[in-house]
Structures are given as structure tokens and as C-alpha cells.
Amino acid sequence: MDRLFNSVFVTGGAGYCGSRLVPQLLDRGYKVTVYDIMFFGNDFLPKDNPNLRLIKGDIRDTALLEKSMAGHDAVVSLACISNDASFELDEALSTSVNLDAFEPMVMAAKRAGVQRFIYASSSSVYGVSDKPDVTEDHPLVPLTLYNKYKGMCEPLLNKHADDKFTVVTFRPATVCGYAPRQRLDLSVNILTNHAVNASKITVFGGSQLRPNLHVQDYCDAVQTFLTAPKEKIHKEIFNVGYQNLSIMDIALMVQRVVSEEFPERGKVGIVTTPSDDLRSYHINSDKIKRVLGYAPKFTIEDSVRELCAAFRDGRLPDSMSDDAYFNVKRLKRLQAA
């Protein structure tokens, strides 16, 4: 893919997806600025790369944001208080970061001369749907503030679009797989961690359908939006998901794969328990393939095997206890406000 831009500004670039995306953008020849509050540090980023600039900053600090964005061609907006469970945290924190800061950030990007703004929304905006295929025009039925705010930001972005400011929104499925700043509080990653390190998986509910997306496919989608012609993406929304499986089907797959990867550990047990998290939806990602020729390449099984390799190699120490892997635990400990 040919580059349209030279410099990319990534908010939240020291997060889970950003930690895998940023090195790949650098490898593609982009100059990259990571703007992140660094709650999880940044030692996993390639700091020795002369084309990488790190700025410790809060997206609520619009003045610093605008000054930092100057000279950049594109913004990839990943920063947020991420995942539904994070709203166990202070509601004011989540509201100020995920909603109140968003439109000022978009306007700052526009004033700074940014030409393209790529916004990572979430497929959780659909909430619960029994439709066999949820497409981008499906009504948004948010169940939590997280997915409510994600959906509310989408029209705020489009409002500022014009001929010189291209905007696009994507709604990724639940991300899984290995990244340098690992998260182990997402469904596939949770199940794999417990299967490998506790020899037991607990399934909450089990019948809920959840769409999943390998973190590498997430990175490839962002790179697709950076190189796509303006007329194909401007003010558009794209679902980005791959396999829609029930939580129980994922658990059975994890059980099988972990038993194959660690045969010496014996069989992994599965325990089921009721759940009050009823989010269940099946997203259709045909539009992005039709319009942009993008299709995911990596399966949930690939994610599980990749995580098994990381556990085997010692890349994920203290995975059951270290709060570096768990957003809510870390933010509570830091008393983030």
C-alpha cells in the first residue's frame, strides 16, 4: 500500500492496540507521534527509533493536544477509558475522557492542519441484537456508558468533516491476541490466561454471541484507512470483525488449543456460572471488504496460539496478578481522575 501521508499522530498509542500498531507504522516509513497518558508505561515501544516521538499527555488538555498535533497529516484516535468494565470506575473520569474531550480534540486536529481523522469506535454500540447480521445502519442500543459515548462521538466527528478534513469511523469487534502492552481483561485473552495458568476456565453465561478481531487485523484495518482514497471513506462507518462465536464456543476452542500447546499440563476444566453481562450481537463486516478490499486474516485460534507462545516464552510474567494487564485494576490503583 502506498503512503498518502508522512506523519501520523496516535492518541492512546501506548495502549494494547497501539503498542502493536505503532511499530508497524514506523516500519512502513511513517513518522509517528504517540500521545498518551502512559498509565501503563511505554517501555514496550521502540524508543530507539528516530521517527518515533512520545508525548505524555491527556486528551482533555486541548491546548497541549493542538500544539502537539501541528505538522501531522493524520490522526488515529485510540485514546479512551477502554472497555465496558472500566465504567466501574469514576463515572466522571469516563465521561470527561470518552465524551467531553472528543469534540474539542477533533476541532484541535482540524485547526492544527490535520487532513485525515480515523476514529476507533466500538461494535459494542449495538448492545443486544438478535439479528443474524448487524450492519452499520443497525440502530445503536447501548447498554453501558462506554458504548453509549462511543456512539455519541461518531456524529460529533462527522459534523466537522469538510473537503480538507477527511473523517472515518470504524467499529472494531472485541480484540484478541498478543501485543507488547498486553491486555488480559478481554474475553479470548481472559480464557487463554486462565486455561494456561490456572488449568480452569470459568464461562459467564456462555450463549452470548460476541464478534472477535485479532489485534493484527485491527492494525491492518487502521493502515487500510490511512491509505484508502478519500472518496471511499469520507464520513463513512465500517464494522471490523471476523468470527462471531458464542462465549462457550470460544471456551471450548481455548480448552482444545491449550491442551495441544501444553500437553504436559493435562486437561483444562470448564466451569459455567450465570452472567449479568448480556451483550450479544453478530456483526457483519461485508462493507469494508466490498468498499476497501480489506478482509481479516487471523482467527481466534491464531490469537490463542500466539498467547500460548508468549506465555511459554516468559513474555507475560505474573499474568494472574500484575495489574499491568488489567485496565480497571490499574486505573483503580492509580486513582485516575
C-alpha cell at 129: 441484537
Cβ neighbours of 296 (radius 10 Å)? 21
- What is the pLDDT, as a whole number, of residue 1? 59
pLDDT at 214 over 90: yes
Assess contact for 334 and 326: CB atoms under 8 A.
no
The rounded distance, in Å, linking the Cα atoms of 248 and 235 is 37
3 state DSSP class of 195: helix
- What is the pLDDT, as a whole number, of residue 132? 83
7 alpha-carbon distance from chain centroid: 21
In eight-state DSSP terms, residue 284 is -
Please write the tens of the pLDDT for every residue from 60-90: 999 999 999 999 999 999 999 986 655 567 8
What does each C-alpha distance from 126 to 87, 145, 183 come to in angstroms?
17, 13, 23
Cβ burial 114-139 (10 Å sphere, 16+ → b, else e): bbbbbbbbbbbbbbebeeeebebebe
C-alpha cell at 322: 500484575
Instruction: Give 190 or 208, the one with higher predicted confidence.
Output: 190
237 alpha-carbon distance from chain centroid: 16
Please write the tens of the pLDDT for every residue from 44-62: 999 999 999 999 999 999 9
- In sequence order, the 6+-apart residues with CB closer than 8 A to the CB of 278 are 128, 143, 205, 208
In eight-state DSSP terms, residue 67 is H
Measured CA angle at 71 (ends 66, 75), to 5 deg: 65
3 state DSSP class of 214: strand
- What is the pLDDT, as a whole number, of residue 66? 98
- Give domain 7-175+213-241+283-298's CATH superfamily: NAD(P)-binding Rossmann-like Domain (3.40.50.720)
> How, if at all, do strands 166-172 and 74-77 pair?
unpaired
- What is the pLDDT, as a whole number, of residue 91? 85
- The predicted model scores a pTM of 0.97
Ranges of each domain in the chain: 7-175+213-241+283-298
Partners of residue 56 on adjacent β-strands:
36
Assess contact for 215 and 179: CB atoms under 8 A.
yes
Q: Is residue 337 classed exposed, middle or buried when 0-12, 13-18 and 19+ CB atoms within 10 A define those classes?
A: exposed
pLDDT at 247 over 80: yes
pLDDT at 277 over 90: no
